[in-house]
Amino acid sequence: MNAVATFIILASLLQTPAFDMQGTVTRVNSPTSLVIGNETVNRTVLLEGVDASGLTNLKYDYLMRDLQGYLPKKEVLVNGSQVYFDLVAGYNSQSINEMIEKKISLLEQMPDYFCQDYECWQEL
């Protein structure tokens, strides 16, 4: 039984990627930039694969309010330019990068909810 337990522990260690940093999201600068801090350093991480350039001002503002309300004070692990939620004794397989990019994609597909005055009529 001890051999099986040892094997499981060793196998889980081999599958875990090496993380550059562990800390807390202290600030969301933009959808592509997070400030992560711990006891020794604050570091700005530019998120790879996130592009919010196609969003209108209203959609961008909505996304920023959402991210600023949700991400600060979350424990995270940083691997290069990929950021993952720090779960107890592990991490989730979907990165925060992928989560934000998915939110951007959904916002881009919702034109009717984010128009003001004459903008709604121009899209028709």
pLDDT, tens digit, 9 for 90 and up, residues 102-115: 999 999 888 666 66
Q: What residues are paired with 35 via a beta bridge?
A: 27, 44
Predicted confidence at residue 52, as pLDDT, reads: 94
Domain boundaries, the chain: 2-123
**Alpha-carbon span 71 to 76, nearest angstrom:** 10
Give the per-residue pLDDT at 34: 97
For the entire predicted model, the pTM comes to 0.76
- The 10s digit of each residue's pLDDT in 17-72 is 688 999 999 999 999 999 999 999 999 999 999 999 989 888 999 999 999 999 99
**Is pLDDT above 70 for 87?**
yes
Residue-wise over 23-54: b if at least 16 C-beta within 10 A, else e?
bbbbebeebbebbbeeeeeeeebebeebebee
Considering only CA atoms, which of 120, 9, 115 is closest in space to residue 57?
Answer: 115
The CATH number assigned to the domain with range 2-123 reads: 2.40.50
Q: Is a pLDDT exceeding 90 seen at residue 119?
A: no
